[in-house]
Structure 1
Amino acid sequence: MARRTIEAHELSLEDILESVETGSAVLPAFQRDFKWSNADAISLIATVLCGWPAGSLLLMNGAPDFFEIRAFEDGPPIDNDIQYVILDGQQRLTSLYRAFRGHERTEFVLSVTALLNSSGKAEDIEDAITVHDRDKWLLEYPPARQAEELLVPLSSLRTASDYFGWRDETIAAAAASERENVRQRLAEVYRVFLSRANSYTLPSVVIDRSLPPAAVARIFERINRTGLRLGAFDLLVARSYTNDWNLRDHWETLRTESEPIGTWLKRDGLPVLQVIALTRKKDVRQPALLDLEPEEISGNWEPAAAAVEHAVAVLRKLGVPGPDLMPYRGLLFPIAYRFMKFPDMNVEAVARELSDWFWGRSFGMGYDVGSSTRIAADARILSARSPGWDAADFAISERNLIAATRKKQSAIWSAFLTYLHANGARDLLTGAELDPNSSDVVAVSMLPKLSESDYHLRVLGLVWANRHTASKLRADPIDVIQRASRRSLESQLLPIDVDSIYRGPDTLLMARARALKQSLANNGHESLNWFA
């Protein structure tokens, strides 16, 4: 019988915490640090003591061979016999481990009196739990005081027998006249609430360690919908991890110290790795990423990071105001690839060289279908010191431009607004040059909302404007255009002949498409191939 690679189980919380305590349940070395607060932990404890679901776990059985592992924070060293690697559930299990197995710095303590005198809701359980400094707890709360104030350290709930052993010790330390009351109260709180900690189970998906990295990433992505997903970047952090080189640390340093990287990639380090994959594997898709060897990642990290920085500089030279107005995210990769091949190339020279390619791919919707294949093909062309382009590659449909809306042709939407910015768009009323990165600048439609039409959504109806002008455009676009200077109209590719605007949206859209075509030609992009 074939071995099952994915199984579902109900695992006992006691057994899982026992595995953590013995070092046989561990974490991936790339896993993010423990972040939960005491308040988060108390809320989870209350969920457990209510017997309510606390989400499922995703585990791998046994030690993997494609990423490193580490112990739980505040847990024991790793055991030689690994039972589980916790792929999803670190924050919850660390919190419960600290509460029910004891923590070197804190002790979670429940007030029996407060809880039994309440309605027993989850909020009441939370209110009944306090967190103490462990050294202070051990010094100031001996068994006699615990009995007097009816306080239960949750670490006594390691198992049912541990709890009753603690209970008997506490009863023995109580005043003789109070022992029966202490016995009854501690028995009652365990029966009604605390016993749930010793019988609690967690639904768990256990995957076999023989599964390939791509399958692990896909399973995690599909199962984990509430937390941070384990994707290709996380697995590559694991795959390349050594005591001397940690991809996550290098990424965090890069994004905080490099303005281009931090601004354009934000918190996503995958594009740098995709540049490496494009260079080494001629592909940017996940299988190629997960096929990278550790030394390929560490050895190419700095050149790839520099190449991405240069690529961002090229995009800015082309007029792209920021990542949100990139017609296609994938356009970054062939540019970065060129700098990987020729790191000595000048940014301005590359921007001039790739200008036709950028506008042709953007307005021609070149990456709408088969983008990964197109990226690889473009990278091959750019591997030559003097790349040659086929004019047919830069085919732009006038019909698509005129009919384009943001929802249906988002690349054209981004490309047009980027081109207006590159063309030095000026405010129609003030004549001031506009910066799309300013909070006062917006893209606004000049076209009316006509019944049963989408004219007001058409991309070629958009202009850049400050918020004051935008409000006037929405109210009376004809009045604003009549008051605009020739220079402002030309910067926004608007016709100087305002009569054409009076003749309706179709006339304006066609005039704008012609103006865009002429402007691109005037700026040296004569190789772009236009068709109706």
Structure 2
Amino acid sequence: MAEPFFINDLVQHIVSGNLRIPSFQRGFIWDADRVAHLMDSIYKGYPFGSLLFWRTKTALQTERQLGPFELPENDPDFPIDYILDGQQRATSIFGVFQNQLTASDDQDESWTKIYFDLSAAKDAQDSQFYFLPDDEVDADRHFPLSILLDPPKYRQFLKTMDDSIADQIDELYRRFTTARIPVQTFSTDDRAAVAIVFERINRLGVELDTLQLLSAWSWSDDFDLLEQFNDLSAELGPYGFGDVGEDTDLLLKCCAAIISGDAGPKTIINLSGADVRTRFKEVRTGILGAIDFLRTHLKAYSTRVLPMPNVIVPLSVFFATDKDQNTHPDSDQQKTIINWIWRTFFTRRYSKRLEQLNTDIVEMQKLKDGQAHQLGDFTCSIKPSFFTETAFNVGSTNTKTHILMLASATPLDFLSAGEIALGTVLRDCNRKEFHHVYPRALLESQSMNPKLTNCLVNFCILPRASNNKISAKPPSEYRKLMPEDDATVAGIMSQALCPSDLFDDDFQRFFDTRLDLLVGHAKSLMGIDA
């Protein structure tokens, strides 16, 4: 633990240019009320957190300004302290008390106008500090903190004060000038070590953005990785995968997997800038190819319906190429990849261990190179409980897997027998596009167990308009709204993975029969013998 800072020490450290903000930090986001609350905590001696500095001899090529303040150049003969944790607090303290830097013209600094209410009752909980616009300031009541560490202005203000509040102002001055800010300093020029520190801070609730961290080292003046990923995000947006372009963790895993055959954090942080620049075309084509494969062969028309987005990482390895011609799997490779994806979804393979992702990256490369491989050769099974014990929730992994499985059977509209426009339904993945085969209101009236009513077994894909027409009708009633031809209805039921004798209103028989159909279809998708 380094020596604590007095407030004036912090202000001078920033003004000297030796305390700076790395570009991988978020910008200043606190509002004036939070700044005032911090001032109250300092005044009352409450703990308000420590600052964590990263000390290095090598300046970053890209930095942020401190809130609205453009930082002066640092002395190259002195090391630089970058704020790793506590930027919001440091900026707030500096902004309120400093009097040497001018805010940028396009930046709001109004939040720095924090006042001490001289007439406020002393209370352990309620704050005595407020943000006030100029037209609400009462000079006899509100003391501006901005002059507290500005001797000329402070002395001038004292001359105008009534003696009755002199002691109160003296105590205010004493508390802020003696307040000590806990500081920890972490010294290294090893960027991998910095990344590890950030990762550990992240586990305590501070957002980590490794992409911005890597960009901060500015791999090349003519190559901006953040800009490349933003462009990729814009390209993927119209296809329903804009979220992938915004998922920096996923994109960096794809980079590391394609370039180094490993998607671990240490590999990501140690990526060679030259390799990223020269092989980014491979990364881009790999990601685009992976998403095209998921859309074409699994009908995954958006990330909203993709159970485990990390499948994109090994899949991007297969499609990565620097050639003008895209990579295309042959029939055996295609079957292997599809089986592997379904096995990964049904077993939730990537929910716990990174090692399994890295194993699949290695095996995917072997498949691509025509070598002996074990892609998908892991223990997998499908139990009835997958469908009976999972409540339908479009945000859950199991439900998304169920939805994609239903989509794989090319479902038809119950009423028109027309093919459902899955691109529209699965793009938004709206709850209203999915329907209880046996309506919930019907089963509630029969006092059916809600767990059975709302589990995956009782759900199918059905457009909103038809859903509304069926409403709470029992199957025997909504059968009258369907095509008259029994063969057509049997086809509708088959492609909905439902039994053809659905319409006798026997829920338990429907439940048991459909459960067998779902389990059988899941095994088929995974390439498991029934």
Identify the TM-score tier after normalising by the shorter chain: 0.7 to 0.9
Structure 1 partner of 2:495: 491
Structure 2 partner of 1:414: 400
Compute the RMSD of aligned alpha carbons.
4.2
1:436 aligns with 2:426: yes
Residues 117-136 of structure 1: per-residue CA shift (max 9 Å, x gap):
33366555215x4369xxxx
Structure 1 partner of 2:106: none
Question: Which of 146, 168, 177 is the matching residue for 1:155?
Answer: 146
Structure 1 partner of 2:154: 167
3-state secondary structure, aligned to 2:208: coil
State the alpha-carbon separation in 2 of the partners of residues 195 and 233 from structure 1: 44
Segments of structure 2 that go 5 or more residues without pairing to the other structure are 104-108, 483-488
State the alpha-carbon separation in 2 of the partners of residues 461 and 377 from structure 1: 39
Structure 1 partner of 2:485: none
CA contact under 8 A between 1:427 and 1:465: conserved in structure 2?
Answer: yes
The 5-angstrom pairing of residues 270-281 of structure 1 reads 270-281=249-260
Structure 1 partner of 2:266: 287
1:371 aligns with 2:350: no
Structure 2 partner of 1:462: 459
Deviation of 1:415 (Å): 2.9
3-state secondary structure, aligned to 2:54: strand
Question: Which of 271, 293, 303 is the matching residue for 1:323?
Answer: 303
3-state secondary structure, aligned to 1:437: helix
1:79 aligns with 2:79: no
Amino acid at match of 2:365: R
The 5-angstrom pairing of residues 48-447 of structure 1 reads 48-63=42-57, 72=66, 73-80=69-76, 81-82=78-79, 84-102=81-99, 103-105=101-103, 108-109=112-113, 115-119=117-121, 125-127=129-131, 129-130=132-133, 153-158=144-149, 162-163=150-151, 165-170=152-157, 179=159, 182=161, 184=163, 187-209=166-188, 212-223=193-204, 225=205, 227=206, 229-241=207-219, 243-256=221-234, 258-259=236-237, 260=239, 263-265=242-244, 267-318=246-297, 319-341=299-321, 343-346=323-326, 354-363=334-343, 365=347, 367-368=349-350, 370-384=355-369, 393=377, 397-399=381-383, 405-406=389-390, 413-429=399-415, 431=417, 433-434=420-421, 435-438=425-428, 439=430, 441-446=432-437
3-state secondary structure, aligned to 2:25: coil
CA contact under 8 A between 2:282 and 2:321: conserved in structure 1?
Answer: no
Amino acid at match of 1:156: I
CA contact under 8 A between 1:61 and 1:207: conserved in structure 2?
Answer: yes
Structure 2 partner of 1:142: none
Name the CA shift for 1:79/1:502 in 2 (closer, same or farther; >3 Å). same
3-state secondary structure, aligned to 2:52: strand
State the alpha-carbon separation in 2 of the partners of residues 389 and 481 from structure 1: 50
Name the CA shift for 1:130/1:351 in 2 (closer, same or farther; >3 Å). farther
Amino acid at match of 2:233: R
CA contact under 8 A between 2:61 and 2:217: conserved in structure 1?
Answer: yes
Deviation of 1:219 (Å): 2.4
Deviation of 1:495 (Å): 1.8
State the alpha-carbon separation in 2 of the partners of residues 371 and 131 from structure 1: 60
Deviation of 1:456 (Å): 4.5
CA contact under 8 A between 2:295 and 2:301: conserved in structure 1?
Answer: yes
Deviation of 1:77 (Å): 1.4
Deviation of 1:396 (Å): 5.8
3-state secondary structure, aligned to 2:516: helix
State the alpha-carbon separation in 2 of the partners of residues 452 and 9 from structure 1: 63
Residues 274-301 of structure 1: per-residue CA shift (max 9 Å, x gap):
2221122211111111121222233333
Residues 505-530 of structure 1: per-residue CA shift (max 9 Å, x gap):
23321133335667x5xxxxxxx532
Name the CA shift for 1:313/1:167 in 2 (closer, same or farther; >3 Å). same
Residues 453-480 of structure 1: per-residue CA shift (max 9 Å, x gap):
9545654443123457668889565446
Deviation of 1:30 (Å): 2.8
State the alpha-carbon separation in 1 of the partners of residues 134 and 222 from structure 2: 37
Amino acid at match of 2:402: F
Segments of structure 1 that go 5 or more residues without pairing to the other structure are 1-6, 133-145, 172-178, 521-527
State the alpha-carbon separation in 2 of the partners of residues 56 and 230 from structure 1: 18
State the alpha-carbon separation in 1 of the partners of residues 153 and 273 from structure 2: 50
Amino acid at match of 2:13: S
State the alpha-carbon separation in 2 of the partners of residues 341 and 476 from structure 1: 53
State the alpha-carbon separation in 1 of the partners of residues 471 and 170 from structure 2: 68
CA contact under 8 A between 2:56 and 2:81: conserved in structure 1?
Answer: yes
Deviation of 1:391 (Å): 9.3
Q: TM-score, normalised by structure 2?
A: 0.75
CA contact under 8 A between 1:49 and 1:194: conserved in structure 2?
Answer: no
Amino acid at match of 2:377: D
CA contact under 8 A between 2:433 and 2:464: conserved in structure 1?
Answer: yes
Deviation of 1:320 (Å): 0.8
Q: TM-score, normalised by structure 1?
A: 0.75
Range moving further from structure 2, 185-194 or 320-329 = 185-194
Residues 136-189 of structure 1: per-residue CA shift (max 9 Å, x gap):
xxxxxxxxxx9986875533223xxx44x4333345xxxxxxx5x626266344
Question: Which of 504, 507, 510 is the matching residue for 2:513?
Answer: 507
CA contact under 8 A between 2:20 and 2:83: conserved in structure 1?
Answer: yes
State the alpha-carbon separation in 2 of the partners of residues 21 and 14 from structure 1: 10
Structure 2 partner of 1:530: 528
Deviation of 1:361 (Å): 3.2
State the alpha-carbon separation in 2 of the partners of residues 57 and 480 from structure 1: 67
Range moving further from structure 2, 505-514 or 147-156 = 147-156
Name the CA shift for 1:492/1:32 in 2 (closer, same or farther; >3 Å). same
3-state secondary structure, aligned to 1:331: helix
The 5-angstrom pairing of residues 8-47 of structure 1 reads 10-38=4-32, 40-47=34-41
State the alpha-carbon separation in 2 of the partners of residues 342 and 400 from structure 1: 44
State the alpha-carbon separation in 1 of the partners of residues 113 and 450 from structure 2: 65
State the alpha-carbon separation in 2 of the partners of residues 95 and 415 from structure 1: 47
CA contact under 8 A between 1:59 and 1:87: conserved in structure 2?
Answer: yes
Residues 19-65 of structure 1: per-residue CA shift (max 9 Å, x gap):
11111111223333334455554454454445444343222234468
State the alpha-carbon separation in 2 of the partners of residues 109 and 504 from structure 1: 68
State the alpha-carbon separation in 2 of the partners of residues 256 and 362 from structure 1: 28
CA contact under 8 A between 2:240 and 2:301: conserved in structure 1?
Answer: no
Structure 2 partner of 1:525: none
Deviation of 1:343 (Å): 4.7
CA contact under 8 A between 2:392 and 2:454: conserved in structure 1?
Answer: no
State the alpha-carbon separation in 1 of the partners of residues 322 and 80 from structure 2: 48
Name the CA shift for 1:422/1:62 in 2 (closer, same or farther; >3 Å). same
Aligned residues: 486
Name the CA shift for 1:327/1:29 in 2 (closer, same or farther; >3 Å). closer
3-state secondary structure, aligned to 1:513: helix
Name the CA shift for 1:295/1:328 in 2 (closer, same or farther; >3 Å). same
Deviation of 1:345 (Å): 4.7
